[in-house]
């Protein structure tokens, strides 16, 4: 695999990527791997990271609402909900992944 530079991708039984290696050596950034290991072992860091991801998702939804959809009663409710959820994430973020999932589901 090294000479033709063919990547190796190992997936688990559910289809999730477990390992990805290029033919020319180690494919991952050492700093990112260390961050992943540190985050995986720290519940607070995991929840903080998840909160950040969901905030970005809601920001994207809000941008789509503002640029792609016509204004109406449903639009007003959806944008208010998105802004309220972003404020919640900024000021009083969920402390568990289950709480975050609930916020995300209700925001959808």
Burial of 58 (0-12, 13-18, 19+ CB in 10 A): buried
Dump pLDDT digits (tens) for 37-75.
888 889 999 999 999 999 999 999 999 999 999 999 999
Q: Which of 1, 107, 21 is nearest to 57 (CA)?
A: 107
Please check whether residues 59 and 86 belong to one and the same domain. yes
Please check whether residues 47 and 67 belong to one and the same domain. yes
Please check whether residues 54 and 101 belong to one and the same domain. yes
Task: Name the residue range of residue 86's domain.
Answer: 43-107
Average pLDDT over residues 25-38: 75
- What pLDDT is stored for residue 33 in this prediction? 80
Average pLDDT over residues 8-31: 75
Counting residues of the chain whose pLDDT is more than 70, the rounded percentage is 90
Alpha helix (H) ranges present in the chain?
30-40, 43-68, 73-91, 97-107
pTM, 2 dp: 0.69
Q: Which of 99, 64, 94 is nearest to 78 (CA)?
A: 64
């Amino acid at each position: 695999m090294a000479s033709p530079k063919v990547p190796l991708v190992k997936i688990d039984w559910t289809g999730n990527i477990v390992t990805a290696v290029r033919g020319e050596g180690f494919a991952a950034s050492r700093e990112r791997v260390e961050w992943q290991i540190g985050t995986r072992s720290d519940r607070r860091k995991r929840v903080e990271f998840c909160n950040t991801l969901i905030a970005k998702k809601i920001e994207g939804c809000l941008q789509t609402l503002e640029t792609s959809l016509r204004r109406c009663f449903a639009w007003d409710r959806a944008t208010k909900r998105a802004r309220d959820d972003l404020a919640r994430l900024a000021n009083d973020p969920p402390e568990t992944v289950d709480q975050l999932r609930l916020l995300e589901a209700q925001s959808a």
